[in-house]
Chain A
């Protein structure tokens, strides 16, 4: 496309998702930031598009295992998509592929129409084990991504305190990670992810290790942050109710090979309550399908006795 920013109409009549703040509100009001790849401006093209993704790898016993089988998934800008499935179905691996931390065997992942070539700060992951750096303070953790980008100290500090306020942890800027509770750590992880200003948040069972009250609280906070910042979120969980509580859409993966078994749009008004009858009813429908997959996964585990394979999720070093 033309590199001349002046040619590009800044008053372009773009249909904007009302939940999305304008770019100018995010402090990026330069003509150049509007003249990004056209695809970011057109909701018709997905924010994240997975086409025919396959992933297979060798197990320890030497056989070839197909973990992901022709996954097709389109995620719109600003959409909150939840992926559910039994453990071992490859849903976390899928996030690693989108993050560029792992390479699919075949198929293509497009973000804003561009193929994913490796890790990029437009896609930030939040791990179940939070992955915060224990040798850094909370504030240093949050500014880490900005520091890697080479952003100046003053701007880093300003943004760090902004995002820490956003997750209500401003007072803990100088604490070390081990001094925080599990829920606070996940909030730091969210702040750290947001501070690099990614377009897409990839959340891998971020609240699975937390107690129910903390989780409820973080659901509220995540929903608030999502609506305030307009990020696209892909959220992996094994908890169906959590998926319905948060998602615009719930995608169910099958077990071995991981395939998109079905998709459920969630049309309930927000904010939703976990105990709500409607949430329960929607969960019921998904759970019936999920149960089949869980039973299959349990059968496989019993038959194989021990845990059958090395999770590709923990196998580092394979990079694109």
Chain B
């Protein structure tokens, strides 16, 4: 109750401040839109299906890209964690690569794949792959050794050992990495879409800029935040909750 009240007060204040600044008309409305202006833009966007199509296209891209990242990242992470040579050589490279914003791959992606969907996917994968890889590597190392031994002892080997033992055993240690990977994938996607016009939320946002319609720009920003928040809150929170229940871990409040 108290928490809800605090939420309401905070957002009401934020909203009030926004309205006040907009009403004072310090900046012209096309530079600093009012909250209801943004609301109208949102409504209009959903009315003519622009946003629905954009969301669908963007979600499809991010899901494909993220799925590739997760599969590749887990293989790479396991490889690096279980092979001394790879760890010494590739481990350092991976960490240093992570400081590179994924959009830096854009020019290369354009040359390699052409101006199409694959180039966007490539940037999304490059954005999230490293997070997943590093998380998996770390998870494999943090995972108590006894699980691997018990699994092998009970007759699991090869892919079965990975699928039924190593992967579930390392999940609590990699879930935060998976979450981070998702966030990076989402950001990379929007960035790439803003540079390369073809449907998608990023493009709709850029369209708002081209039309000098800041209400539309902010409306899309709100959408991007909302989707990111929902995925985090529903998918990953749910996963964390389930893990905590099964393993009997106390939630990190």
Contacts and interface: CB of A to CB of B under 8 A. Distances in A.
Interface of A: 96, 99, 101, 119-121, 123-125, 127, 129, 131-136, 144-145, 147-149, 176-179, 192, 196, 314, 316-317, 319
A148 B152 CA distance: 10
Contact of B153 (A124, A134, A317): A124
Contacts of A317: 82
A148 B164 contact: yes
Contacts of A192: 154
A98 to B, nearest CB: 11
Query: Top 4 closest A-B pairs, CB basis?
Result: A178-B248, A131-B150, A145-B154, A148-B155
Interface residues of B, number: 25
B248 A134 contact: yes
Residue picked from B149, B154, B246, most chain A C-beta under 10 Å:
B154
Nearest to B245: A176
A96 B152 CA distance: 12
Contact of A131 (B147, B156, B157, B246): B147
Looking at chain B's contact residues, the main secondary structure is helix
Interface of B: 82, 144-150, 152-157, 160, 164-165, 168-169, 171, 243, 245-248
Contact of A121 (B155, B164, B165, B243): B155
B169 A176 contact: no
B152 A135 contact: no
B88 to A, nearest CB: 15
B82 A135 contact: no
Contact of B246 (A101, A134, A145, A149): A134
Pick the most buried of B169, B171, B246: most chain A CB atoms within 10 A of its CB. B246
B164 to A, nearest CB: 7
B152 A133 contact: no
A177 B149 CA distance: 18
A148 B149 contact: no
Contacts of B154: 121, 124, 144-145, 148, 192, 196
B145 A135 contact: no
Contacts of B165: 133
23 contacts: A101-B153, A119-B157, A120-B155, A121-B153, A121-B154, A127-B149, A131-B146, A131-B147, A131-B149, A135-B171, A135-B243, A144-B156, A144-B164, A147-B164, A148-B156, A148-B160, A176-B247, A178-B247, A179-B248, A196-B155, A316-B148, A317-B82, A319-B152
